[in-house]
Amino acid sequence: MPSHREPPQTLEDVLAGEAVLGVYRQMFAALARDAGAVVDDPEMVDIAETLLSAFAEAGEEGLSREQMRHVCRHYPAEAFENRLRVLKGLGAIREVFPKPNQLRYRASFTSVVGLMFVRRMMRDGGQSEMHRLLALEQLNVADPRMTAEQARDGAEGLARAFRLWSVELVTLTHSTIEELREQAPKLWGTAEIIERAERLHEAILRRWPELEDACTELRAAIHAYGDASRRAAARLADSAGTTRNLTLLPAESWRTFARTASREELAAVLEGFVFDAPAPWHDPAAIVAAVQEGPRTVPPRPAPPRPAVPDAGLVERVPAGRSETDRLAAVAEQVLRGRDRVPVGEVLERDWPAARRLLADLSAAHLRPELPYRLVWSDGLRVRPDGSPSWLSDGVFERTGRAS
């Protein structure tokens, strides 16, 4: 089903949605009747989640159909109907009392837990689930009610999971960088998992020595997993070093590298770079500001009083406000070069930083009423992909003839 809500989706969004769906498909592959049975739009999962959280807030009253529609008002109607039908059909949402013409609905607890589980699986591809499974198994093994048969089942299940995991990691060793980055979370913290698994294996073997064969299988699977993950991790570390792609490794790995690497290794990272010597700039204005803001011993000396009439000593010096006008006039005269008007396009025929400044000066000259220049723009736009600037409006810069 196409996405209805926000048509302009970026490729990144589509990719992220596709990754999420990939996890769903993999998880429910064991239960699906045919390949089309699993959702193919991330929005559909969002609808389900919105509905379930609305049910949680509604309490024992449940929600009517209208209320459900209101909660999902941001989603298109047909998508909502479709979702509701499926959720009802599978029993995730059902009538409060099973009788005809029932108008209020409640949500199933199991579906909510299932969705939470799915979201968690999505984050690290099931690695934390493995941690939890191992911890649970460990508790089970210590439980006096546990039978040898159950322990065998547990050991065999774990061995199978580790086998499949290591197969996936082996393919990772030969895959592309993109795939490697996607799957990278599966590689983090493997040492801890191996340690836990070995502890569990020991516990089973100590309590039920007769399960030797199942334990051998488990041990082999753990070792295979350890090898595969080490090899994939080496590949990952290599690629991370050569691509400078910082997302390939977790931040902790980079921090550890920065702390433990030798000086040569650290220097090699920036081999071939040249750095400018430190050149701080102290602008006169900044110096003045620093001195004026600084703590003082004596109250600041007041500036010497200025006479109200112009001082003869100042007549020759150009006042500050005047000099900017003069500068603009000089720029304008330089552009006009004796002519009365000049096309702006011709003047701006130069690299953009210089053209930009010139344009700013010309605009300033235009805006000063005391200067006899103006910019006149006309319609028309020239696009020049190879030129600089890459587009130009037609216009002329001209002398108006009225002097200040």
Q: Residue numbers of the site for other proteins (CB under 8 A)?
A: 274-288, 290-297, 300-301, 303, 320, 323, 353-354, 357
Assigned token pair, 49 = 């989640």
For residue 313, the one-letter residue type is G
Retrieve residue 324's tokens.
């900017």
Residues contacting 400, CB < 8 A, separation 6+: 372, 373, 374
Q: Which is nearer to other proteins, 113 or 360 (CB)?
A: 360
Residue 277's Cβ-count burial label (10 Å; 0-12, 13-18, 19+) is: exposed
Question: Smallest gap, in angstroms, from Cβ of residue 337 to other proteins?
Answer: 19
Which H or E run includes 64?
strand 63-64
The amino acid present at 286, given as its one-letter code, is A
At its nearest, how many Å lie between other proteins and the CB of residue 283? 4
Among residues 60 and 276, whose Cβ is nearest to other proteins? 276
Residue 206 or 282: the one with the smaller Cβ distance to other proteins is 282
Q: Output the smallest distance, CB 294 to other proteins, in A.
A: 5
Distances (CA, A) of 342 to 165, 321, 388, 394: 74, 27, 18, 11
Q: Which residues contact 219 (CB under 8 A, 6 or more apart)?
A: 198, 201
Q: How far is the CB of 365 from other proteins (least distance, A)?
A: 17
Least distance (Å) between residue 352 CB and other proteins? 12
Q: Name the minimum Å distance from CB 267 to other proteins.
A: 15
| 3-class state of residue 372 by DSSP | coil
Contacts of 159 (CB under 8 A, 6+ apart): 214, 217, 218, 220, 221
Structure tokens at 192: 């801890």
Return the number of the residue (15 or 288) whose C-beta is nearest other proteins: 288
Q: Which is nearer to other proteins, 199 or 357 (CB)?
A: 357
Residue 270 or 403 having the CB closest to other proteins: 270
